[in-house]
Each structure stands twice: as structure tokens, then as C-alpha cells.
């Protein structure tokens, strides 16, 4: 079971002194009182003021479980009656979540985990100096589990940390975790970077993480991984745990990915703009490597190419094996996704490939996925089973954002409102609506027009996960 937490990593500035050894190569006894007193305190003093506590509040409906029984609804209605035990319970309840965040700009810009503030009606930040502020969401990116917040009172000159480069980290570097575990208050723990480029964790779409053994626990989510110069090199997002507590395996989102989301937020974008390859990639296996005459079963195997995409224009073909991006090795599609997505838009990047057993290099343009069809976002209303669903027209940009769509055109469900008829009917984000009552659906306008008219029943045909599903639903 995955548990989400914060991890902050920091190199010990004085580590070189501690690492000194005599000419013989053996350990040595500290030569002075100053060496014995070496401390993490300067790094903590520089970084800790920029670490904030994030409190997210969400109001949810709570119904009496008896209301799920049609018999009780028939006699007492949806609200029940005073003679039925428990029907006087509150209709609403407040859910609270606690996490951490990092101030990265003196105007009050905060980076945290998306799962900390997901669905929140109110977000409040508490600074290390005990000041508290309301915050608003600038940009959420569920694909990386990063959210960018802004303190509403932007007049104050807030402390801030500097984003560094996660590529500067090495396995064995000393790190610190700073956050608010279990809500006890700001806490610092120390460990090392135990692995880099951890992929296939199933935590985010861009599965490429820094692993550390610094003690982290629930409540740490959203904090910073800091190097010895006080630069943030990662945002911690998850732990591996069977007990719910720290067991020495935590994962942080690299700062290079965080920077992409932050730059989109500062540019005023409502979605994160990243380079788009326009190709489906597959994990390599020993069997595939043998068939392709490849020595090592690593890299990202190209399955198919999107027409008109940068991949097609660069000459990439199905069956090519991508092994490097800008000279950096990629072991699997997750590693490729990270390396490619963190390249700046504009210009081009060299991809190292193996084609029919021979190495080659292709230069691919770094362009965002185009919105070839206006998305025309619509919230469906009325008395249809799709009421409460937000739908958009498909385009390469939408397909790239959602990552779960096999269709290339049509209308897709972007969101499903909590407690809505669409949620109760089990519609999901990513469902592509193909047909309603025998009428093909080409645009959101088509779907909105059809669902406005009441019907006794609804025959809905959709595509989900590559499968076509048809269902008859009551009106």
C-alpha cells in the first residue's frame, strides 16, 4: 500500500572534511574540536524558513446509510424523518489533510504535492515563523503529483529556497528531510541518496524518482530535497511502507521535473506545456532484445507513430529502440518520458537509437502537442446519466494530458463530479463517448444537444482502455 510523504535531501557542506583520510587510506581520528562539532545546522538554518505546513480542508456530503435503501427513501424521502434513528446526523463533514510545501519565490509561490490539496475547498499555509496565510491554486499537475500555490497576501517578502538540478545528485550523497511528520511540527532527519532514476513505481505518470533512506513519514508530503548549498533538488512524494511509517525507502520528484510545472504556472498557463514526441513506447524485455539483435534489454521501443508528430517528421519508425536523450541513457519508457519532458520547449534534441542492430542519431523538434481541435470544455447537465461529467473534444494535446486514451478523435470525459449521476453510473475520466441512442458523437456540442433532451432510456457506447463498451441505462 502506497503512503505519500515528503522528503527533503541535502548534502552536508562539511562532508569533504569528514571524508579526509591519511595517506595510507585508513580512517583517522578528528584532529580538532571544530571537526568534532561539524553540523547540519547551517544547511537547516538556510532552508527551514522556506518550508511551510499545508492544511487543506474539503467539505463532503455524508448521508445516513439507510438512505441507500429504496424502501426508506420511498417512505421518508431523501432527507429522512425525525423518527428514524440517525437521520439527524450532519449532512456535511470536513475532511482535513496535512502536508508540507516549499516557498520558491519571495512573492509567496509554494510548491507542494497535488495529492495534498486535491479537491480542497480551502488551503491554509503556516510558515516556520508561525504566520498563517490563505493560499490559492495556480496550477495542478496530477501527472507529476505537483501543485503550485500562491499566498493570497503577496505583499510580504517571504523567505524562499532556490531550485537546483537533480542531475547533480549522486548515490551516497548525504541528504536531509525537513517537514511536518504526523503534524508534530517542523522536523529534520538525515540520510543518504540510496538510488537515482527509480522508475515503474506507479506513483505518477512520470515515474522517475530520487530514492532516500532519510526518515520520512505521513505529513512530510510536499517538502524539499536540498543539497549542501541549500538548493532544492527534489520534492518528496511517497514512501514504501508496510506499517504506515518510515522503513528507509522514500521517493522524491526530481527538481528538473518540478521546474517544468513551475515555469508553466508562472507563465499563467492552466496546463503544463511539455515537449511532445508523438509515439507510443514499450518496455524492452530480454526476449525482445534477442529478436532485435540488441545486447542489453534496456531502452524504449517505439510501437507506433502519431501522424504529423515530431517523431514522424524526424524519421523515427516503429521498431526503433531509443537508448539516449541528449546523450543521457534511458533504461525504459519512464526514463525516456522524464528526460524528454524536462527538455525546454523550442529547438531540438538528439535521440540515440538502434535500428536493425545499428546505432543512429535523430534530431527531434521540441514542440508541445497541438490542439488541432478546440477542446470546447462543457459541463453536462440535465437528466441524463452523463449529467455532472465535464467533456472536451479530443486532440493531440488532450491525449497527451490524459495519457489513457487510445482514440484519436471524438469526445472524452475530462472530469466526473463527485456525487453526480455520471459518477453513480460509473463513468470515468478518459471514457471516449462514441454514440448515444444510435447517434454518433463527434463534438461536445453534439453530446450536449443530445443529453439536454430527457429520454426513458439511454444506450451509451464508449471506448475505455481500448475496449468498446455498450450499456443501456435508465432515464
Are 100 and 53 spatial neighbours (Cβ–Cβ below 8 Å)?
Answer: yes
Catalytic residues: 115, 145, 221
Residue 69: which residues within 8 A CB-CB, separation 6 or more? none
Q: How far apart are CA 145 and CA 180, in angstroms?
A: 19
Element (H, E) at 258: helix 255-266
Say how many residues make up the chain: 475
Residue 267's CB: how many other CB atoms inside 10 A? 9
Positions of E strands within 152-275:
162-163, 174-179, 187-198, 209-212, 224-226, 231-240, 250-254
Q: Which of 405, 448, 299, 402 is nearest to 359 (CA)?
A: 299
Q: How far apart are CA 441 and CA 433, in angstroms?
A: 7
DSSP assignment, residue 318?
A: T
Tell me: is residue 221 an annotated ligand-binding position.
Answer: yes
Residue 357 CB-density burial (10 A; 0-12 exposed, 13-18 middle, 19+ buried): exposed
Q: How far apart are CA 278 and CA 18, in angstroms?
A: 49
Q: How far apart are CA 235 and CA 239, in angstroms?
A: 12
Tell me: is residue 115 an annotated ligand-binding position.
Answer: yes
The cell for 475 is 432515464
Q: How far apart are CA 433 and CA 411, in angstroms?
A: 6
Three-state DSSP class for residue 117:
helix
- How far does Cα 298 stand from its chain's mean position? 25
Residue 302's CB: how many other CB atoms inside 10 A? 22
Q: How far apart are CA 454 and CA 312, in angstroms?
A: 45
Parallel/antiparallel/unpaired status of strands 51-61 and 2-3: unpaired
Binding-site members are: 115, 145, 219-221
Binding-site members for substrate are: 115, 145, 219-221
Amino acid at each position: 500500500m502506497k503512503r505519500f510523504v515528503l522528503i527533503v535531501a541535502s548534502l552536508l557542506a562539511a562532508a569533504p572534511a569528514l571524508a579526509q583520510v591519511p595517506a595510507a587510506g585508513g580512517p583517522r581520528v578528528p584532529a580538532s574540536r571544530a571537526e568534532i562539532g561539524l553540523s547540519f545546522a547551517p544547511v537547516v538554518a538556510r532552508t527551514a524558513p522556506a518550508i511551510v505546513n499545508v492544511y487543506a480542508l474539503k467539505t463532503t456530503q455524508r448521508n445516513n446509510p439507510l438512505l441507500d435503501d429504496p424502501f426508506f427513501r420511498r417512505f421518508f424521502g431523501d432527507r429522512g424523518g425525525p423518527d428514524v434513528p440517525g437521520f439527524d446526523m450532519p449532512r456535511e463533514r470536513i475532511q482535513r489533510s496535512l502536508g508540507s510545501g516549499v516557498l520558491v519565490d519571495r512573492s509567496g509561490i509554494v510548491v507542494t504535492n497535488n495529492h495534498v490539496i486535491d479537491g480542497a475547498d480551502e488551503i491554509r499555509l503556516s510558515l516556520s515563523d508561525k504566520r498563517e496565510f490563505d493560499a490559492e491554486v495556480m496550477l495542478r499537475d496530477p501527472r507529476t503529483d505537483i501543485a503550485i500555490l500562491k499566498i493570497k497576501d503577496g505583499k510580504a517578502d517571504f523567505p524562499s529556497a532556490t531550485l537546483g538540478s537533480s542531475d547533480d545528485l549522486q548515490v551516497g550523497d548525504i541528504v536531509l528531510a525537513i517537514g511536518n511528520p504526523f503534524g508534530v511540527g517542523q522536523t529534520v532527519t538525515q540520510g543518504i541518496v540510496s538510488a537515482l532514476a527509480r522508475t515503474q513505481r506507479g506513483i505518477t505518470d512520470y515515474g522517475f524518482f530520487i530514492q532516500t533512506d532519510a526518515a520520512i513519514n505521513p505529513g512530510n508530503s510536499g517538502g524539499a530535497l536540498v543539497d549542501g548549498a541549500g538548493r532544492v533538488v527534489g520534492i518528496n512524494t511517497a514512501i514504501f511502507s508496510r506499517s504506515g511509517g518510515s522503513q528507509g525507502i522514500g521517493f522524491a520528484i526530481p527538481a528538473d521535473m518540478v521546474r517544468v510545472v513551475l515555469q508553466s504556472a508562472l507563465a499563467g498557463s492552466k496546463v503544463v506545456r511539455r515537449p511532445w514526441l508523438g509515439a507510443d513506447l514499450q518496455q524492452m524485455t530480454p526476449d525482445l532484445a534477442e529478436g532485435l539483435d540488441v545486447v542489453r534489454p534496456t531502452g524504449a521501443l517505439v510501437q507506433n507513430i502519431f501522424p504529423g508528430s515530431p517523431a514522424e517528421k524526424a524519421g523515427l519508425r516503429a521498431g526503433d529502440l531509443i537508448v539516449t536523450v541528449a546523450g543521457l541513457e534511458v533504461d525504459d519508457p519512464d526514463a525516456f518520458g522524464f528526460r524528454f519532458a524536462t527538455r525546454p520547449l523550442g529547438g531540438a534534441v538528439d535521440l540515440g537509437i538502434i535500428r536493425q542492430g545499428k546505432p543512429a542519431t535523430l534530431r527531434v523538434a521540441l514542440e508541445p502537442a497541438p490542439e488541432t481541435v478546440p477542446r470546447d470544455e462543457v459541463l453536462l447537465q440535465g437528466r441524463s446519466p452523463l449529467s455532472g461529467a465535464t467533456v472536451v473534444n479530443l486532440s493531440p494535446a488532450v491525449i497527451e494530458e490524459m495519457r489513457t486514451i487510445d482514440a484519436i478523435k471524438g469526445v472524452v470525459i475530462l472530469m466526473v463530479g463527485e456525487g453526480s449521476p455520471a459518477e453513480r453510473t460509473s463513468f470515468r475520466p478518459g471514457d471516449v463517448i462514441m454514440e448515444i441512442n444510435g447517434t454518433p458523437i463527434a463534438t461536445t456540442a453534439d453530446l450536449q444537444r443530445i443529453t439536454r433532451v430527457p429520454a426513458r432510456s439511454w444506450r451509451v457506447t464508449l471506448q475505455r482502455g481500448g475496449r468498446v463498451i455498450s450499456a443501456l441505462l435508465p432515464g
